[in-house]
Amino acid sequence: MSDAKVTIFTGKKIITMNPAVPVAQAIAVQGDRILGVGTVEDLAQWGDYELDEQFEDYVLMPGFVEAHSHVMAGAVWEFPYVGFYDRPDPLGHTWSGCQTIAAVVDRLAECERELKDPNQTLVAWGLDPIFLDGERLVAKHLDQISATRPIFVFHASGHLATVNSAMMDRSSIDRYTPTPGVARDTDGEPNGELQEPAAMSLAQDGLSAIGVAMMSSNAKWNYAREARNCGVTTIADLGTTRLTMEGQLEAWHEATSHDDYPARVVVAVGHSDSNLNKKNSNPIVSLAVRLRDEEETAKLRFGIVKLVLDGSIQGFTARISWPHYVNPPPGHPGNGLWLIPPEQLADIVSGYHEAGLTVHCHCNGDEATQVFIDAVDLALQRHPRWDHRHTVQHSQMTTTAQYKKMASLGINANIFSNHIFHWGDQHAAVTIGEERAARMDACATAEREGVVFSVHSDAPITPMSQLHTAWSAVNRLTASGRVLGPEERISVAKALEACTLGAAHQLKLDHDIGSLEAGKLADFAVLEKDPFEVSPKELKNIAVWGTVVGGTPHVASSK
Amino acid sequence: MKLSEDLIEVSVIGGYLGAGKTTLVNHILREASERVAVMVNDFGEINIDETLIDSSNENTISLTNGCICCSLVDGFAAALESVLSLLPRPTRLVIEASGVADPSAIAAHGHSPGLALDAVVVVVDSVRLIEQIADPLIGQTVASQIRAADVIVINKIDLCDTLASVNVELSELNPNALLVYANKAKADLDLLFGREILRTASAAGHMGKFESRTHESAQPILRENLETLIENLPSNIQRVKGIVRLAEAPRIPMVFQLVGRSWELRALADRGKSPEGNRLVVIGPKGSIPIGWDNFLS
């Protein structure tokens, strides 16, 4: 043992998530690692220590691990929020939800007054028209805010934006604009709504401003602050193609090497079709291997490649098996979209698999899950390899038979449990129907079939908070308050395991994080209440003091 | 024909994995008679004779015939920006869509300032088409691509012994598209791109199979006259394209495109980039275009 300083933290209760020693009263830390857990008396055997009692009234747990979110969760806060639900920002301010068009206009008018440069575009995010009753927000509403300053409101879906007349003037959008997706009123004049990327990119300084924000240092910091505020100590930015862009890897190093940076980050490399070259090796393989072997630090980790195989269920673009969608919009072709040709997947997966990388594949629909399972099966026949931990991401419609097969192949799942709350009512009524909605995001089936799993927020798609995703997996309450699929509810203990060890396992970090035991990194969530003592319905309401990352406390911004 | 000196015409090449999209792109690069920029997913698949490479870097290859290949590795927006900044400007941009993409989503970008969409070209593998359409995993993807096509290149016909059923299937999915038959994706580029057929090129290039005629006039035309012209065209006319000014909005240059059996009239995004007046070219099999085909416009 080295002679570095030992600190013993005490807590009201320390939940270790280590089944061999599940509960402790104190935890000793040396450097950034845990020396041991137990009582202060037990830990005194390690010699001199400093007693830190600041968490005496708090419950300590392993820091939560959010294995599927995006740095975009930090970037969006460069811009004002106009979504329907209240949402806290990384600096601790809670933005109240804008529940009417008037509220959206008031919020934007307030933000407009704060901008000094009269030419600067006002960009906002989070608008979700399906929640706003009555008429749709269009340019004429935004024109009440400013007749001269361009305004760009990015919708929560990511597929639409609404702009004002000043933006249309600046960008030459008028009744003759030929680009499809420029929505029009009954007279043929554009109404300010721009649908899909070709139309959205007509608006100058709109989408591009969001792209710039995603590359910024501030986005990386706000991403980690958002994590800290909800007790998350490790976040996975699941899938980026920006690591090859100039300065981005350096920017991640610069942020995460800072002592005050309050999280560990796993940056997963996004597979891109553009790089697939059958004649030479796939350059993403060599990039991901090099990052894993040469660029890892204590707070910046690699080794994961992200694939996106299908779309989303609520967008009717997920690939789902027969009987497909219950009530798709008019003109829908019947099933969703492939983003990778299904017959190419086995070759793509094999390339990463053979290089020793872990593949996380976005599969919302069960047909996509099946194609990924088959691809892993084939990759394993070609290159037998134990403990690969390839993971089905979202895994929203994965069936019992599929979970059984995943268990036998060693595939993990990361289940999008927050969907039950946010879109569960729509899934039952419109997308996949009652029966399949009752067994979607099937944590209990995954548990029963022996698949190692986690649950996630996909922030910023839903707000980051592992206490909320766990609550959703435990209670399966929808926004309207019904219990959707009670048989798929899991215990609080299992949900907390999913948010700690389960997530750490699929990131191949469970030797370092996910439980509190000697030798692991000293990453804790500091909670005001014991999640095993509160009513399961209160899980999401437990207040978070902050986190400890590598032995360093980071207080949440709301404190 | 060139719509205008400063405009880049856009052709989107779609089609399922293995249909022959990249082979078609290679054919276009070899046969190019204009300055073509191509955006491709994968340089490694582009088959360029080393002696034709003028210079290359990580994301672009310049050819001695003036053509340029741009990689889509940094995303569509970045690639488009680099094409728009090329000097001298290319006259045509060919975008190869990925094998599962809906080419119409990419074609939507073809109406951006500086660009004018020419056509969505979808390549199909005639040997595998029937089987692909019936495939529960990919059938809908292949069918959606075919529905999005203005031109369908029916490829590998020398290997196909069920061409009649392929034709039936395609006409059910998309009765309006212009069908072009090819082996090794060697499709007629005048038809694909709607180019004016010069007599010399015609004799050398297609043994005189196609012809074109051009209409030019100065005064804005009436929409109904244009519609009458379309109704009276012989049914085997393959393409009509050009820029016209309508009497109802003479300041707005309108791009007219007739491909196969459907037509479209859409404003040009860059209004300053078109000369005044009307210019239309019609392309059809040799002998199909009557003298006075454009009488309705005068």
* Tens digits of residue pLDDT in A132-159: 878 899 999 999 999 999 999 999 999 9
**What pLDDT does A280 receive?**
56
Structural domain boundaries of chain A? 72-211, 212-549
Residue A547, SS3 per DSSP: strand
Say what the alpha-carbon torsion angle A74, A77, A83, A86 is, to the nearest 10 degrees: 80
Contact assessment for residue A153 and residue A161, using Cβ atoms and an 8 Å cutoff: yes
Could you please report the per-residue DSSP string of A140-156? HHHHTT-SSS-EEEEET
pLDDT tens figures, B256-280: 999 999 999 999 988 877 778 999 9
Domain boundaries, chain B: 8-193, 199-297
**Is B99 in Cβ contact with A343 (below 8 Å)?**
no
Asked whether the beta carbons of A170 and A152 are under 8 A apart, the reply is no
pLDDT in tens, A72-86: 999 999 999 999 999
Q: Which of A266-270, A503-507, B194-198 has the lowest mean pLDDT?
A: B194-198
Residue B91 backbone dihedrals phi, psi, to 5 degrees = -95, -20
User: Is B4 exposed, middle or buried (CB count within 10 Å of its CB: 0-12, 13-18, 19+)?
Assistant: buried
Instruction: Please check whether residue A370 is in contact with residue A402, taking contact to mean a CB–CB distance below 8 angstroms.
Output: yes
Q: Are B64 and B52 in contact (CB under 8 A)?
A: yes
Task: Say if the Cβ atoms of A245 and B137 lie within 8 Å.
Answer: no
Distance CA A237, CA B80 (A): 27
Region A501-509 average pLDDT = 98
Point out which residues pair with A545 in neighbouring strands: none
Tell me the chain B residues in contact with residue A276 when contact means C-beta distances shorter than 8 Å: 41-42
Q: Is the alpha carbon torsion for A128, A134, A139, A141 positive or negative?
A: negative
Tell me which CATH code domain B199-297 carries. 3.30.1220.10
First to last CA, chain B: 21
A212-549 belongs to which CATH class?
alpha beta
Check CB contact of B137 with chain A, cutoff 8 Å.
Answer: yes
User: What mean pLDDT value characterizes chain B?
Assistant: 90
Q: Is A448 helix (H, G, I), strand (E, B) or coil?
A: helix
A179: nearest Cα among A167, A153, A197, A191: A197
CATH architecture of B8-193: 3-Layer(aba) Sandwich (3.40)
Residue whose C-alpha is closest to residue A104's, from A129, A76, A77? A129
Q: Is A64 helix (H, G, I), strand (E, B) or coil?
A: strand
Percentage helix, strand, coil for chain B under 3-state DSSP, each rounded to 5: 30, 30, 40
Query: Is residue A354 within a helix (H) or strand (E), and if so which, with residue range?
Result: helix A345-354
Give the pLDDT confidence score for residue B74 in this predicted structure.
77
Band of pLDDT at residue B204, cut at 50, 70 and 90: very low
**Rounded Cα distance, A23 and B161, in Å:** 73
Examine the pLDDT at A283 and tell me if it is beyond 90.
Answer: no
List the single best residue of A338, A344, A345 to mutate versus B (max B Cβ within 10 A). A338
What is the C-alpha separation between B70 and A271, in angstroms, rounded?
Answer: 19
Top residue of B38, B46, B100 to mutate, by most chain A CBs within 10 Å, is B100
Place of tokens 């978070």: A544
Say what the pTM is: 0.94
Q: How far is A164 from A109, CA to CA, in rounded Å?
A: 13
- Radius of gyration (Cα) for chain B, nearest Å? 19
ipTM exceeds 0.85, yes or no: yes
Sheet containing B249-259: give its strands across. Answer: B210-217, B278-285, B239-246, B249-259, B262-267
Distance CA B225, CA A546 (A): 73
Using CB atoms, pick whichever of B17, B73, B140 lies closest to residue A334. Answer: B140
Q: Does residue A1 surpass a pLDDT of 80?
A: no
- Write down the pLDDT at residue B42: 73
> Shortest CB distance from B267 goes to which of A176, A201, A344?
A176
Distance from CA of A521 to the nearest CA of B (A): 36
Give yes or no for residue A474 having a pLDDT over 60: yes
Topology annotation, domain A72-211: Diaminopimelate Epimerase; Chain A, domain 1 (3.10.310)
